[in-house]
Amino acid sequence: ADLLIRSSGGNVTTSIMYGLMHEDINNSGDGGIYAELIRNRAFQGSSKFPSSLESWSSINYATLTLKKLATPLSPALPNSLNVAAGTAGTKPDPKKTKIGFANTGYWGMDVKVQNYTGSFFVRGGFEGAFTASLQSAITGEVFGSVEVPGTQSVKDGWVQRNFTLVPARAAPSSNNSFAVTFDPAGIREGSSLDFNLISMFPPTYKDRPNGMRIDIMEALAKLNPKFLRLPGGNMLEGNTIDTYWKWNETIGPLKNRPGMAGVWKYQLTTGMGLVEYMHWCDDLNLEPIVAVWGGLSLDGAYTPKSAINTVVQYALDEIEFLTGAAATTKWGAVRASILGHDRPWRVKYVEIGNEDWLAGRPTAFDSYKQYRFQAFQTAFAQKYPDIQLIASPSVFDGMTIPAPAAGDYHPYLTPDEFVAQFNKFDRLSKNNLTFIGEAATVHANGGKGWDGNLMPNPWWAGSVAEAIFLLGAERNADRIIGATYAPGLRNLNRWQWGMTLMQHAADPALTTLSTSWHVWRLLGNHVITKTSPVTHTSKAFSIGPLYYVAGTGEKGTNIVKLAVYNATEPVQVSLQFESKNDAKPKAARATLTVLTGPKDPYAVNDSFTRVNVVNETMSALTADEKGLFKFSLPPLSVAVFETGGE
């Protein structure tokens, strides 16, 4: 293939081409990026997932009972754990004076010699000290413990006890648990104590209290993301019309957060709430793309026209909470008072709902087209005219998106389907600004569609196909707001979708970067700010087996991103930069980075074999006397060519 990169023409691109999307699926929030170690820390429940003692166990025959007390810790957290010495038949071991309770975390806990910052609330008259400890769940070996004074515990009030636990040694595996024990002889009045909101964090990213897991944030940062679409996804919609993600119930002290029935088969703590998402944006310098609830739930129910203004007002309040001045707006004042966060955040993008073309179609979709989206558009135009609105369907989903709003396209496809979409966006008009808020290869070519299972892992050929789709998006990046993979994270112990950028477990050594992570990382780290037209000189522009996009980089470099699909032999590439007088090449030296996989196109990056199937090579290229850069790219490869900015 002979490619001539033109010196004029092209388009200025979006400044946020690659980003992230997050909702709590696959225990990617609780048990994932949210660093809380204690699972079921506040016995939260819902009609879908009733409150339980899941992941708690008794120490030394203590009787553990879930209680709904007349004086709960807070209206948001009505359930608590009652702990009493064992009764007949379950008498405490007389050699051990202490009783208590243990938690096995999100399938284990990583124990290192580092600070663990924790707290719990206790209710009941008690004299003495509690012991908080980390130990092996197999042998009981204690790696570290700390005494937590208990003397201020009082009969009818809840008292918060804080502690810092520093293990004396690291545990050999993550099969560990956390325990609180105490001598029941210290109980004054009655024979039991009540506990709630038992929480413990390891060091977090940028040391944020209630913060994020360091290794996961670091791996995300390496993708060089520019935005975060939050908080979903199906999670935003909720299962039923009254169980959507309620932003106002995810803010403030943890004891005021009731949690919610997750849509992915588990209860959510919402410890990772709206503000934590914004901190994530702050810490990775990401543009927030805030999705507000649009009045649709996953069961297909939707808000009638007569009530839509209430839903719109709820969204306006959310944006005011984030962006309003502390001194002059109601919700800005709330932000400042409960968070001490005087400085408003800046929000440039707001998405209305999630996939409103899908659940409850056709009537729910009709309601979106007929009045729901319009109600938001009118209100936002008035109150936040500078915010770019995004409709949750795209122009490809059967909705005419009223400009200046953009649409959101979610391709979950086979590799062949992705490759066939390389030129899909060439037809987008200037009025069809499109966001790719979720994308991933989910089925093998010829595999079952949505009636069958999704693939259990991203695989190499699928990741190459995603690259080709993305090159097509980059060619049109004046009409594309940005693109993100979804779902981005997946806990190895419980997941609903196999597709992921990263797999994780309690043990950070098991954190695995998928084949797609490698591809999206390469593309995301070579930012094209202006595209350059490319002429295919040997024949009229043809599509495949080589796919490409060219442009100018942030530092004035020339960048060409390429991918090869459906080839049996390496593709020979000869690449030339147009120079006005055809005399000299613009640059004589370049770097070529190539990602390849093994022979098996279905190869995956597996957390247990720890083998990375993606091979990355980097080579220096020199142009010949005619200014041609010549190189070859293997079948199923993704490459970035970049001149050194000479």
Q: Closer CB to ligand AHR, residue 30 or residue 438?
A: 438
What DSSP letter does each residue of 453-502 carry, written as one string? PPPSS--HHHHHHHHHHHHHHHHTTTTEEEE--SS-EEETTS-S----SE
Q: Closer CB to ligand AHR, residue 410 or residue 526?
A: 410
What is the total count of residues that contact ligand AHR (CB under 6 A)?
12
Which one of the spans 29-37, 232-240, 453-461, 520-528 is the region binding ligand AHR (CB under 6 A)?
232-240
As measured in angstroms, the least distance from the Cβ of 646 to ligand AHR is 42
Q: Which two tokens stand for residue 570?
A: 């390496």
Q: Closer CB to ligand AHR, residue 101 or residue 293?
A: 293
Which one of the spans 169-177, 230-238, 244-252, 571-579 is the region binding ligand AHR (CB under 6 A)?
230-238
Q: Closer CB to ligand AHR, residue 321 or residue 435?
A: 435
Contacts of 244 (CB under 8 A, 6+ apart): 236, 237, 238, 293, 297
Q: Closer CB to ligand AHR, residue 233 or residue 545?
A: 233
CA 522 to chain centre: 19
Give 13's DSSP letter. P
Q: Closer CB to ligand AHR, residue 320 or residue 408?
A: 408
Residue of 354, 388, 500, 607 interacting with ligand AHR (CB under 6 A): 354
Phi and psi, residue 255, nearest 5°:
-70, -10
Peptide bond into 288 cis (omega under 30): no
Q: Which of residues 403-432 bind ligand AHR (CB under 6 A)?
A: 410
Q: Which of residues 144-163 bind ligand AHR (CB under 6 A)?
A: none
Question: In a 3-state reduction of DSSP, which class is residue 319?
Answer: helix
Task: Compute the distance between CA of residue 199 and CA of residue 116 in angstroms, rounded to an integer.
Answer: 10
Q: Closer CB to ligand AHR, residue 166 or residue 454?
A: 454
Label each residue of 385-430 as H, E or C: CCCEEEECCCHHHCCCCCCCCEEECCCEECHHHHHHCCCHHHHCCC
Cα dihedral 451/456/457/461 (nearest 10): -50
Contacts of 85 (CB under 8 A, 6+ apart): 61, 62, 63, 92, 99, 184, 191
Orientation of helix 515-524 relative to helix 460-475, angle to 10°: 20
Q: Which two tokens stand for residue 621?
A: 């290229």
How many other C-beta atoms can be found within 10 angstroms of the C-beta atom of residue 489? 28
Asked whether 512 and 466 are in contact (CB, 8 A), the reply is: no
Q: Closer CB to ligand AHR, residue 26 or residue 432?
A: 26
Task: Compute the distance between CA of residue 349 and CA of residue 331 in angstroms, rounded to an integer.
Answer: 19
As measured in angstroms, the least distance from the Cβ of 445 to ligand AHR is 21
Q: Closer CB to ligand AHR, residue 238 or residue 585?
A: 238
As measured in angstroms, the least distance from the Cβ of 392 to ligand AHR is 9
As measured in angstroms, the least distance from the Cβ of 277 to ligand AHR is 16
Q: Which of residues 56-95 bind ligand AHR (CB under 6 A)?
A: none
Q: Closer CB to ligand AHR, residue 232 or residue 407?
A: 232
Residue of 287, 317, 318, 355 interacting with ligand AHR (CB under 6 A): 355
As measured in angstroms, the least distance from the Cβ of 497 to ligand AHR is 6
Q: Closer CB to ligand AHR, residue 229 or residue 561?
A: 229
How many other C-beta atoms can be found within 10 angstroms of the C-beta atom of residue 156? 11
Q: Closer CB to ligand AHR, residue 486 or residue 636?
A: 486
As measured in angstroms, the least distance from the Cβ of 487 to ligand AHR is 4
Q: Which two tokens stand for residue 632?
A: 């070859």
Which one of the spans 29-37, 226-234, 369-377, 591-599 is the region binding ligand AHR (CB under 6 A)?
226-234
Residue of 29, 78, 184, 232 interacting with ligand AHR (CB under 6 A): 232
Site string for ligand AHR, 573-612 (x = CB under 6 A): ----------------------------------------
Q: Closer CB to ligand AHR, residue 265 or residue 427?
A: 265
Which residue type does 632 have? S
As measured in angstroms, the least distance from the Cβ of 421 to ligand AHR is 17
Q: Closer CB to ligand AHR, residue 23 or residue 194?
A: 23
As measured in angstroms, the least distance from the Cβ of 181 to ligand AHR is 41
Examine residue 233 and tell whether it contacts ligand AHR (CB under 6 A): yes
Site string for ligand AHR, 181-220 (x = CB under 6 A): ----------------------------------------
As measured in angstroms, the least distance from the Cβ of 486 to ligand AHR is 4
How many other C-beta atoms can be found within 10 angstroms of the C-beta atom of residue 507? 18
Give 186's DSSP letter. G
Contacts of 320 (CB under 8 A, 6+ apart): 329, 330, 331, 332
Q: Which two tokens stand for residue 42?
A: 């506040």
As measured in angstroms, the least distance from the Cβ of 358 to ligand AHR is 7
Site string for ligand AHR, 1-30 (x = CB under 6 A): ----------------------x-x-----
Residue of 101, 158, 485, 497 interacting with ligand AHR (CB under 6 A): 497
Q: Closer CB to ligand AHR, residue 133 or residue 392?
A: 392
Asked whether 416 and 445 are in contact (CB, 8 A), the reply is: yes
Residue of 105, 407, 411, 487 interacting with ligand AHR (CB under 6 A): 487
Give every strand in the sheet of 528-532, ordered side by side. 528-532, 546-553, 558-564, 637-643, 589-596, 615-622
Longest Cα–Cα distance of the chain, Å, equals 97
Q: Closer CB to ligand AHR, residue 486 or residue 492?
A: 486
Asked whether 214 and 155 are in contact (CB, 8 A), the reply is: no
Residue of 438, 466, 507, 642 interacting with ligand AHR (CB under 6 A): 438
Q: Which two tokens stand for residue 40?
A: 């079921």
Residue of 40, 234, 500, 605 interacting with ligand AHR (CB under 6 A): 234
As measured in angstroms, the least distance from the Cβ of 639 to ligand AHR is 28
Phi and psi, residue 132, nearest 5°:
-100, 135
Q: Which two tokens stand for residue 342?
A: 């005087």
As measured in angstroms, the least distance from the Cβ of 215 to ligand AHR is 22
How many other C-beta atoms can be found within 10 angstroms of the C-beta atom of residue 286? 22
Which one of the spans 231-239, 307-315, 519-527, 585-593 is the region binding ligand AHR (CB under 6 A)?
231-239
Residues that bind ligand AHR (CB under 6 A): 23, 25, 232-234, 354-355, 410, 438, 486-487, 497
